[in-house]
Each structure stands twice: as structure tokens, then as C-alpha cells.
Amino acid sequence: MKRKFTIGSRGSQLALWQTGFIKDSLEKHFPEAAFDVRIIKTKGDAVLDTALSKIGDKGLFTKEIETALLNKEIDLAVHSLKDLPTIQPEGLRIGAVSRRETPNDVFISKHFSSISELSNGARVATGSLRRKSQLLAFRPDLEIIEIRGNVPTRIEKLLASDLDGMILAFAGVHRLNLDSHIKQIIPTEILLPAVGQGVMAVEIREDDTEIAAMLNEINDAGTQACITAERAFLRRLEGGCQVPIGAMAFLDNDNIFLQGFVGNTDGTKVIRDSIIGEKAAAENLGIALAEKCLDAGAAQILSEARADASNTAGEVF
């Protein structure tokens, strides 16, 4: 009899693709084991008519899955790392991360080939305050439309609408073989990605040494170092879906180069900075960059962003 393990996952096409990727990787390394998938609906999946920034709850796409993990209803869980809060519930930890896909955001449009080519006053859809802030910093004339839904649904909505464009993560579009819709891979000089964007994370119970040992076989150490720096940056700034924060780290031999962004919701106040340091000190590097941003006024900007996000009523497309 094969030893059976149950993987928890959201039910979207992208979530199931990612869970299938991790499942296949584990099966290749451990053919003597069997892995089943259990779909768990999260609050973020159920509430689709409200902007993420207004729901005001960390763990929107992870809490119910984490509860099942703590209750031993599942043995491991696969998440998009950018959905995973930087402070996890007691008793849980990240057991492995995947090699990072291209972290950039992408521009999708029926009529325009890039953000720069958009006409004055063009309407662009995104569900992210991080993207909204940076888009408006680059193109203050744009009108940002709030949008919710999974990747295929958002693309369908765009194609059936009179909107001028939409922003999504490259990783999600690419993993679902929807690259034909991409008009531009947006340079990070314009849009710095979300913390952990393009990375899959496998979450486990802290005391599960058997699963932990198995996951060591599929963990990407380079990606782990980079996301450790990014998540430390976000954690120090106390960020989440409710505030415009972005970060991206990459390895340069034994060093990490980390960039960070903080802004308000209309892009009129923006802080961008960077830092480089040893890979072994990834967490301290993230904290140091956050401190640089705080010294430059990030706390006040984020306070204003939180207030704006909670007070601004907006229709969700």
C-alpha cells in the first residue's frame, strides 16, 4: 500500500495548476507515495463583489486552508506565495518554495500594445493597490477600474468590455497558456511586482518532519533566499493587500539585490529604494530596506493609503 498524503488547494484553474505542478514534482521524487488533492474554498473565493483592499482581512486566500492543515485534515498546502501572510499561524511554516517564474506584471489590451501607448484618460483594470499606485505614478491621466475574479474570468471580462487594458501577473497568465493575450511584459522600473510574485509555496505543520524531509527535495534555495528578503521587507512595513507595497529580489553570486516600493493610492507619493547584501543575511536585508523607506516617510504614506482604501467606495467590475 502506498503512503497517502492530501494536498490542500483552492479550486481556481491557476491554483489547481500550481498544486498539480507540486504534486507531479513530489510523485517523481517519491513514487512509493500517493498524493491526493482536496479543494478548499476560501473567503477570497467566496466574496467577489468587494475590492480586496476593503475586505480588510489578511489570509483571504489561505485561512481556511491553513485551518484544515492545523486540524490535520490535509498534510500540506500549495499557495501562491504572494497570497500568504508574512506572519503564519502558530504551528505552520513554509516547507518549500518553487523556482520563481518571471515575476513581472503584464499588460493585456484589445487595442494597445503597451501602457505608454494608452490614450489620455484610458481605463485600465486591476484589483491591486500596488499596481494602481505605480500605474498612476507613471501615467497620472489613467482611470483605474477595480476588477475581481480569477485569471481567465478577468480576461473574459476585458474582452467583452470597452476597457482599454488590464494588468495581471505574468506567472498566472503563462501557467494557464494564455500568453497570446499579453501585449507587454511591464518593466519593473514601471511596476515593481508583489512580494513573492511568481513563486509557489508549500505550507506544512512545523512538527511534520516526514513531509519536511520530502519537501527538501523540491525546494529552490535561491528563490527561498530572495523571498526571505522580500517577505522581511513586507513584514517590517506591516503590509498586505490593503496597502501599495512592492518588492523584488534577485541573486548576484552570493549577494541579494533587493528593490522596494511604497506608495499612496493615487501615486502622488512614492518611495522606491534598493539595497544589496549577502545572501546569508537575507532577512536582515529586507528589514534594512524597510527601515530606509520608513526613514523616508513610508509610515505616513502607508497610513494614508490604508485610510483611503477603507474609505473609498468603488464599483467592482
Instruction: Measure the CA–CA gap between 270 and 202, rounded to whole angstroms.
Output: 33
Active site residues: 83
DSSP symbol at 277: E
User: What pLDDT was estimated at residue 238?
Assistant: 85
Which residue is listed with cell 491591486? 128
Mention every residue, 6+ apart, whose C-beta is less than 8 A from residue 173. Answer: 106, 108, 151, 155, 179, 181, 182
> What confidence tens digit (pLDDT) does each residue in 219-269 have?
999 999 999 999 999 999 987 666 899 999 999 999 999 999 999 999 999
User: What pLDDT was estimated at residue 316?
Assistant: 79
Q: Which residues of the chain have pLDDT under 50?
A: none
User: What pLDDT was estimated at residue 159?
Assistant: 96
Q: Quote the distance between the C-alpha of residue 86 and its chain's center.
A: 11
How far from 102 is each of 121, 175, 250, CA to CA, in Å? Answer: 29, 11, 11
Taking the model in full, what pTM does it have?
0.94
Is the distance from CB of 297 to CB of 262 less than 8 angstroms?
Answer: no
User: What pLDDT was estimated at residue 1?
Assistant: 67
User: What pLDDT was estimated at residue 240?
Assistant: 64
User: What pLDDT was estimated at residue 56?
Assistant: 55
Going from the N-terminus, what domains does the chain have, and what CATH number goes with each? 1-98+199-219 (3.40.190.10), 105-192 (3.40.190.10), 220-310 (3.30.160.40)
Q: What is the crossing angle of helices 13-29 and 151-159, to 10°?
A: 150
Pairing of strands 255-263, 245-252: antiparallel
Is the distance from CB of 249 to CB of 275 less than 8 angstroms?
Answer: no
Q: Is residue 226 within a helix (H) or strand (E), and if so which, with residue range?
A: helix 221-236
End-to-end CA gap in the chain = 50
Q: What angle do CA 170, 174, 175 make, to 5 degrees?
A: 120
Which residue is listed with cell 541573486? 251
Is the distance from CB of 125 to CB of 159 less than 8 angstroms?
Answer: no
Mention every residue, 6+ apart, whose C-beta is less than 8 A from residue 150. Answer: 12, 13, 14
Q: What is the crossing angle of helices 298-311 and 282-295, to 10°?
A: 80
Helix (H, G, I), strand (E, B) or coil at 19: helix
